[in-house]
Amino acid sequence: MKKIIIGALLWSAASLVFAVNAEEIVRKLEANTIHDSVRVEGSMVIKDRFGTKESSYISWGEGEDNMLIEFTSLEERGQKILRTKDEIYLYFPDAEELIRLQGSALRDSVLGSDFSYEDMTGDKGILDTYKVTLEGTEKIDGHLCYRLNLKAVSRDVPYSREVMWVDTELFIYRQVHKFSVSDRLLKELKVLEIEEISGRLIPVRVLISDKMKKDSSTESIIKKIEIGSKLDPELFSLQELTW
């Protein structure tokens, strides 16, 4: 009888965990991470074999399609990255030069960090770019998480496969692994700290490491975030980028 009761309890717990499917998990995750409008003040702390460097920035975002990042640290002040629906542009104020990134250049490092331009500016919604399957549950740093396998639906996607661990209670990601076409682990992302801001759970400290580099990591820190603030419609234009 005791074995039957234990078995029933385990089955009941498993049923609760799998009460949602992969698509529902992703939609709940993106409800925390995609905003109609957002303004962020943050920094990147870059560590490699040469030492530690910190670069600060302000960014503005609008839905899934638009993001503008302007660096404010002394060495990079005025440099900007603009992502619109289909393009990423760079602006260098000293040279008054505007560059449209294409192909492999999208995967170049931002300021020597472990973030590529695609990593830092985000991409389209997960369900638009990946086929997602729920593989089970695992604990990450003591938190029970759904393990999601994401397989790219086209060659235009930055990573051919990702594995994402999403907290079963909070529906925020705790860890992400990003893989190459040959299924080699390229990058690992871990969430270090979460805050509730304007009713949303926001990863405010994230550590990313490029597995192709030795002794390299970058910590992204959100110092201030405003969700739902009104943004100028021209903010994400090429004209505004060069101003």
DSSP, residue by residue, 184-216: -EEEEEEEEEEEEETTEEEEEEEEEEETTSSS-
- Whether 14 is covered by a domain: the verdict is no
pLDDT score for 2: 40
153 vs 151: CA distance, rounded Å: 6
Q: Residue 93's domain is classified under what CATH number?
A: 2.50.20.10
Cα angle for residues 134, 140, 149 (degrees, 5° grid): 25
From the list 216, 200, 180, the residue with the least C-alpha distance to 46 is 216
- Whether 5 is covered by a domain: the verdict is no
Beta bridge partners of 31: none
- Tell me which residue range forms the domain holding 137: 21-241
- Whether 115 is covered by a domain: the verdict is yes
- Whether 4 is covered by a domain: the verdict is no
Comparing 5-19, 87-101, 199-213, the range with the smallest average pLDDT is 5-19
Beta bridge partners of 163: 149, 177
Q: Is the pLDDT of residue 242 over 90?
A: no
- Whether 8 is covered by a domain: the verdict is no
- Whether 138 is covered by a domain: the verdict is yes
Single pTM value for the model: 0.85
> Residues 55-67: what's their mean pLDDT?
91
164 vs 158: CA distance, rounded Å: 15
Read off the pLDDT of residues 138-169 as tens digits, 9 standing for 90 and up: 999 999 999 999 999 988 788 999 999 999 99
- Could you give the number of structural domains in the chain? 1
- Whether 6 is covered by a domain: the verdict is no
Half-sphere exposure (Cβ direction) of 211: Cα atoms closer than 13 Å? 12
- Whether 119 is covered by a domain: the verdict is yes
Q: Give the count of beta carbons closer than 10 Å to the beta carbon of residue 174.
A: 24
